[in-house]
Chain A
Amino acid sequence: MAGYPALAGSFWLAAPGVLACVLLSVGLLLRWHDAVTAALVLAGGAYAAFLLLAERDAIDTAAPLVAAALVGVAELSHWSLERGPAREPAPLVVRRALRLVFVGLGAVLFSTLVLLASYAEVGKGLAVEAAGLAAALGVLTLLAFVAWWRGRV
């Protein structure tokens, strides 16, 4: 995933990818949560830079896979860093692994749906832009509210 921009032709974006891999390794080895988070942000940022700066003719159809990979890496690294019993019961491990697979598949599916929605002909104009902005702000507000509410409960 970190090497995807470089493989797609933007070789100059290999450096952040390598740095993300190093940060992730260091974070996992030293059980340093911040390094893992920084590695994920860096990898996502490298992909965003690739989308912004690379010369492309069409939408990058691999975006859902990149999103799923990011989700998968985040989940797996979090699992690795978790402090818990030395030996977990096998059924729990299997359940968690299956859940991870489903989360990954769900991420691909949902990301694809979002990408497909961008193809929809809904016209252009200030109203559509405003609606899009409102939707994005609404999602962020909703997330913030739910997080605040959960924190109180």
Chain B
Amino acid sequence: MAALVFELPELAALAAPFALLALVGLLAAEAPVLRVYASLEPDVSRDQVRGHARVGQVHGAARALEGDSVELTIDVEAAGPIERLELMLTLPPAISVLEGENPAVARLAPDRPWQHRLLLRCDRWGTYELGRMVLRAQDGLGFVRHELEIARPCSLKVFPSSEALQLLLRPLETQVFAGNQVARQKGDGIEFADMRPFVAGDRIRRVNWRASARRNELWVNEFHAERNADVILFLDSFTETRDGAASTLDLAVRAAAALAGRYLRHKDRVGLVSFGGLLNWLTPATGPAHMYRIVDALLDTEVFVNYAWKDIDVVPRRMLPAKALILALTPLLDERAIGALLDLRARGFDLVIVEISPIPFAEPGSSESDRLAYRIWQLRREALRARYERAGVPVAVWRQGQGLAGALEEVERFRRHAPRSRV
């Protein structure tokens, strides 16, 4: 227009390429037709290198352990050519990209589907939905962009990494079913208990011939029965202290998973009570399938902020069978959990507290008053531990980086010497 008004053809020459580019760009741009598939596979090659395959598929969901890697494959097919396709996968914070580009870019042709592989590392336990992605297609001249957010859900369950455990706490009381725990009661077993004079009905094979020869009468050996035990893992999820990626709840979940696995292998019945803002429980049972149920329940454990007062009465009675060993995993930070544990002891339960120490997660502070408050807080924690120990409850302190076996050994030592008492 200006070219015509001012009779300057150079202005028309200046504007013409822009007009032509805009026209061609707008006419040539087409909305892309895409087919997107996503699949999650265990990173078998790495597992083979490590010598064991730990990752697999369960109920349509991939599962892995903390620290493992999984391979997410995204296949994209286009009905027409796409000059530039950007793909960005939205990942949860606990999943990081080990290999591969995110976001990634590619050029698509109708006969050449694009397969994008990402090797993902599972940094923290939990249940995750992967496959949420943003696709951005651009035409040749870059005038029109089509952006699309889609989800091709791939469930991934990341199980907590297991703590190495050689030693297990022996419950004070056992149940009536056969198991691997040496019971206090006498019965069929292999652990020697005592000797007594022979009575009618005793098996000949039980006769202790050496003792009988000395006493000139028949004496028989008695053995401890081997029974199973009920173990309740009591997870305090009222509150947690966190320092970056690690938290007291993470440690508690790892410990719970390790303890559940070990007790279930000993044919014991294991139950779970997640006592916190949200109450969750799993009735005691045994068997390998129950292990998955426990781990699934653990994966759902989160800290829900709740100011309502809760005591042990909110836990169903069948969740706390008589003579059960209650293993509490707690940072001993919330008054409700502290009170509930004392209440359990008062009801005569065999209670053991594994204190997930929050001290490594808390800094003393820079000022003198901060440091003083920190020392007072530590003293109050020691006083609380002493209160439990006076009530006959062993408290083992477990810190990040230390083995859980050491904490359990501390409990065993306490039990050998401390009298049983009730509050």
- Which residues in A have some Cβ–Cβ distance to B below 8 Å? 44, 47-48, 51-52, 59-60, 63-64, 66-68, 70-71, 78, 84-85, 87-89, 91-92, 95-96, 99, 103, 106-107, 110-112, 114-115, 117-118, 129, 132-133, 136-137, 139-140, 142-143, 146-147, 150, 153
Contacts and interface: CB of A to CB of B under 8 A. Distances in A.
Contacts of A88: 105
Contacts of A92: 84, 105-107
B200 interface: no
Nearest to B106: A89
Contact of A143 (B1, B3, B22): B22
A146 B23 contact: yes
A103 B8 CA distance: 24
Interface string B1-12: 111101011111
A142 to B, nearest CB: 7
8 contacts: A71-B18, A85-B104, A88-B105, A92-B106, A137-B1, A143-B23, A143-B26, A150-B26
B107 A129 contact: no
Interface residues of B, number: 38
B288 to A, nearest CB: 44
A142 B23 CA distance: 8
Interface string B279-315: 0000000000000000000000000000000000000
B18 A85 contact: no
A11 to B, nearest CB: 20
A114 B13 CA distance: 6
A88 B107 CA distance: 11
Contact of A71 (B3, B21, B29, B140): B21
A84 B106 CA distance: 11
Interface in B133-155: 140-142, 144
Contacts of B10: 51, 59-60, 63, 115
B163 to A, nearest CB: 38
A45 to B, nearest CB: 11
A153 B140 contact: no
A73 to B, nearest CB: 12
B27 interface: yes
B14 A111 contact: yes
A85 B101 contact: yes
A110 B16 contact: yes
B346 interface: no
Given A71-B18, A87-B101, A92-B105, A59 B23 contact: no
Interface in B82-119: 83-84, 86, 101, 103-107
Nearest to A71: B17
Nearest to A153: B31
Interface string B26-37: 110101000000
B14 A70 contact: yes
Nearest to B26: A146
A106 B20 CA distance: 10
Contacts of A70: 14, 18
B19 interface: yes
A110 B13 CA distance: 8
Given A85-B104, A103-B21, A129 B29 contact: no
Nearest to B12: A114
Nearest to B2: A48
Contact of A106 (B3, B9, B17, B22): B17
B13 A63 contact: yes
A148 B106 CA distance: 29
A48 B86 contact: no
The 6 closest A-B pairs by CB, nearest first: A118-B9, A107-B17, A63-B10, A63-B13, A114-B16, A111-B13
A115 B83 CA distance: 32
A92 B4 CA distance: 41
B12 A118 contact: yes
A132 B164 CA distance: 86
Contact of A110 (B1, B8, B20): B20
Contacts of A117: 9
Contacts of A71: 17-18, 21
B11 A51 contact: yes
Contacts of B8: 51-52
B13 A129 contact: no
A133 B1 contact: yes
Contact of A85 (B31, B83, B86): B86
B140 A99 contact: yes
Contacts of A107: 17, 21
Given A88-B105, A103-B21, A150 B144 contact: yes
A111 B17 contact: yes
Contacts of B26: 143, 146-147, 150
